[in-house]
Structure 1
Amino acid sequence: MVIKVFLATSSGSTAIKKKQQDVVGFLEALKVDYTQLDIACNEDNRKWMRQNVPEEKKPANGIPLPPQIFNEDSYCGDYETFFDAKEDNSVYAFLGLPPPPGSKQAQVEEEEEQEEEAE
Structure 2
Amino acid sequence: MVIKVFLATSSGSTAIKKKQQDVLGFLEALKIEYAQLDIASNEENRMWMRENVPGEKKPANGIPLPPQIFNEENYCGDYDTFFDAKEENSVYEFLGLTPPPGFKKMDQEEEDIQGEDNLVSEEEEELRQLEEEEAEED
Could you state the TM-score of these two structures normalised by the residue count of structure 1? 0.88
Shift of 1:21: 0.1
Aligned-partner Cα distance in 1 for 2:87–2:21: 17
Aligned to 1:91: 91
Shift in Å at residue 33 of structure 1?
0.2
> Considering only CA atoms, is the larger Rg found in Structure 1 or Structure 2?
2
**Between structures 1 and 2, the one with greater helix share:** 2
The answer on 1:39 being equivalent to 2:39 is yes
Query: In the TM superposition, what is the alpha-carbon distance from 1:28 to its structure 2 partner?
Result: 0.1
TM-score, normalised to structure 2, is: 0.76
SS of equivalent to 2:23: helix
Q: Which residue identity lines up with residue 99 of structure 1 in the other structure?
A: P
Task: State the match for 1:73 in structure 2.
Answer: 73
Please report how far the alpha carbon of residue 104 of structure 1 lies from its aligned counterpart in structure 2 after TM superposition: 1.5
Deviations 1:26-84 (A, max 9, x none): 00000000000000000000000000000000000000000000000000000000000
State how far apart, in whole Å, the 2-side matches of 1:104 and 1:14 are. 34
Which amino acid is the alignment partner of residue 6 of structure 2? F
Supply the distance in 2 between the matched residues of 1:67 and 1:15 (Cα, whole angstroms): 11
Structure 2: which amino acid aligns with 1:19? Answer: K
Q: Which residue of 1 aligns with 2:19?
A: 19
**Aligned counterparts of 2:103 and 2:41: Cα–Cα separation in 1:** 37
- Segments of structure 2 that go 5 or more residues without pairing to the other structure are 108-138
| Structure-1 residue corresponding to 2:134 | none
CA RMSD between the two structures: 1.0
SS in 2 for 1:77: strand
Deviant stretches of 4+, over 3 Å: none
- Please give the secondary structure, in 2, of the residue aligned with 1:35: strand
Structure 1, unpaired ranges of 5+: 109-119
